Every structure is written in C-alpha cells, then in structure tokens.
Amino acid sequence: MKRLARTGYASVLLVALGLAGYAAVLLHFDPRSLPENYGNTDAVLFAGAQPNQPLIVLLGGGDGCNAWAEPTAQQRRERLLDQGYAILALEYFSGLCRDEDSETPSDLDRISIDGIYLAVVAAARDSRISRDCIAVVGASAGAMVALTLASYYPDIKAVVGTVPANIVYPAGGVYPRLTSALSHDGNPLPYAPITLMAGIAFLREGTLGLFNAMLDNEEGMEQGAIAVERINGPILLVSATLDEVWPSTRMSDLMIERLRRNNFRHPYQHVPLATDHSGRSQPIAPIVDAFLEEHFLSDAHSGCPR
C-alpha cells in the first residue's frame, strides 16, 4: 500500500512539474511577435530535362526537416521522377534538424502558408515545369499544411493528405502557445483550441485522446476546421485505422462529410488503411500514384500537358 501511495505521489509530482514547466513557457511566449525566420522555407527542386513536367510539392510531418531531399529518400524520388513528375522537396520548419545554420522557423509556430506558396511559385518558374499542373502531397502535419495551402491558392490543382488532420491546431502541438500553428499574411489562422477536457484526456490517453476530445468540442472544431471545400481540384485522403498519434480516420471522415455537404465538384476519396501513423505496414505509394494518374494528370481541369 505504501508503495502504491509513493507511486501516486510521484505521478502527481511529475504532472505538477510538467504543468509548471509549461506555465513557464507560456509566461515567456509573446504571441504578438512573429517567430524567427518567419516565412522562410528550404526548397529543393528535382526535375528531368524535358519541358512541361507536372510538379509535386512534398511536405514532411511534425518532425520538421526536409526528409524528401535527403539521400534516404532517393529511391522514392526516383519513382516519381520516372513517372514524369518534377519534385519540390520543401522544408517549412527545421524541427529535429535545427542547427546554427538553419534558416527556417524552428518549430510549428504560425508557419506562413504564403511563404510556402512563394516557394512553389518560384519553382514553377523553372522552364521545365508546367505552371498549370501543380499538386501538393503532405503527411501528418504536412497534410494539414497541404490542405490549408490548397484551400487558399486555386492554382494548386490536386492535394494528397496521408494520416491528415482536418483542423488547424495550436502552435506547439500538445503544448499550445496560445496562437495558431499556421498563418497567412502575418496573421495567425483560426485554430481548434485545447480545452481543459482535452488536456485531461491527454494526461490519460496521450495525443490520441487529446485530439479526440478536441473533435468532440464542436464549436472549437468548426473554428479550426480546414475549408477543404475551397480546394480547386481532386483530394485524396489516406488514413490509418490504428493511428496512435491522432484519429486520422475520424478526421478524414469529417472532411469527406464536409465536402459532401458543400457539393464539392471535384473527385475526392478516403482510403482507410489498417496501419499506424507511420504507414509503413501498408503500401501507400500505389494508391497515391493511381489517384494522381486518374484524377490529376488525366483531368483536363488540372492543366497538365497530356
């Protein structure tokens, strides 16, 4: 019994220390000042020699970095290049790759979607790229960014989100900083708040419980919902039914419901897979390839040179 009591006291102490540390972060956070390197991106273009190549913009997840530009992604890049695509591997925050030479924001704090868009426009000026044939593919946090980006800029003609979120969430993720993870024109975007009940769910069930509780808050969810109905092209969502990070299947279903409710005029599809958030146990690439071939490259609306 004494051992159980000591364990209980230790748990309470750890929670108290965590809350104290979080309070210290909030006290030193100024939401009026934009983060260092605001609007900067690190973009690397991979393209063949031929003209009029469709461009796929690749956005990584919550770890930050520019994983698609790394040697470890060479095989995946070559698969897309062999299909005739040009690739823009884009880092929108440095995250785990942060060092003294980093020129992108350090974390997911008011990331400038217009800064990302400017990087896409700059790449599309390359003579090898078809400016009217641009798709964005994002995973996890990158899917949130991709869907939001496309909802603002109609010259993005297709979006693929794997294990996506349907909401913009607070800067800092589960340790919110009283502002948005994304911004536009220097202004934080509306975001779904983390309520007290969501905080309690996080302590009990981790991030999965946190995000489920956030979705249960209908007013907050609507406030932070991504306006996917404004996207000017086909949408593919690939979710994980065993997702341990957030309920990507539930979030994808909510986006599909929103598209139906708004009579979305482009093709859209949700493919739930029996996998975890990493998606490593299921072949996602063939699903994405087939969707883009049918609904992006072969669609006259996309402007792709076929």
Task: Name which residue leads in pLDDT, 32 or 166.
Answer: 166
Instruction: Give the per-residue pLDDT at 113.
Output: 97
Contact (CB, 8 A) for 65 and 97: yes
pLDDT (average), residues 215-236: 96
Between 303 and 265, the more confident residue is 265
- What gap in Å lies between CA 39 and CA 183, rounded to an integer? 9
| DSSP 3-state of 184 | strand
Please state the CATH superfamily assignment of the domain spanning residues 39-302 in this structure: Alpha/Beta hydrolase fold, catalytic domain (3.40.50.1820)
Q: Average pLDDT of 209-228?
A: 94
* pLDDT of 148 above 90: yes
Q: What is the structure's pLDDT at 19?
A: 43
pLDDT exceeds 60 at position 4: no
Segment among 43-47, 163-167, 177-181, 214-218 with least mean pLDDT? 177-181
Averaged pLDDT score across all residues of the chain: 88
Q: Which pLDDT score, from 0 to 100, does residue 112 have?
A: 97
Residue 88's pLDDT is 98
pLDDT at residue 184, as a whole number: 96
Q: Say how far apart CA 150 and CA 171 lie, in whole Å.
A: 20
> What confidence category does residue 21 fall into, taking pLDDT thresholds of 50, 70 and 90?
very low
- What number is the average pLDDT over the span 34-52? 93
Pairwise CA distance, residues 174 & 193, whole Å:
10
Beta-bridge partners for 279: none
Q: How confident is the model at residue 96 (pLDDT cuts 50, 70, 90)?
A: confident
pLDDT (0 to 100) of residue 177? 64
Residue 223 in this model has a pLDDT that exceeds 70? yes
Highest average pLDDT, of 4-18, 93-107, 118-132, 176-190, comes from 118-132
Phi, psi of 166 (to 5 degrees): -95, 0
Task: Give the C-alpha separation, 197 to 177, whole Å.
Answer: 17
Residue 144's nearest CA partner among 116, 106, 104, 121 is 116
Q: Check residue 306 and give its pLDDT.
A: 62
Look at residue 175 in the predicted model and tell me its pLDDT. Answer: 58
Q: Radius of gyration over alpha carbons of the chain, in Å? A: 20
pLDDT tens profile 260-296? 999 999 999 999 999 999 888 778 999 999 999 999 9
Percent residues over pLDDT 90 in the chain: 71
Count the Cβ atoms, other than its own, within 10 Å of residue 55. Answer: 26
What integer is the mean pLDDT of 223-251? 97
Give pLDDT, residue 30: 60
Confidence of residue 100 (pLDDT cuts 50, 70, 90): confident
Q: With a cut of 80, say whether residue 130 has pLDDT above it.
A: yes
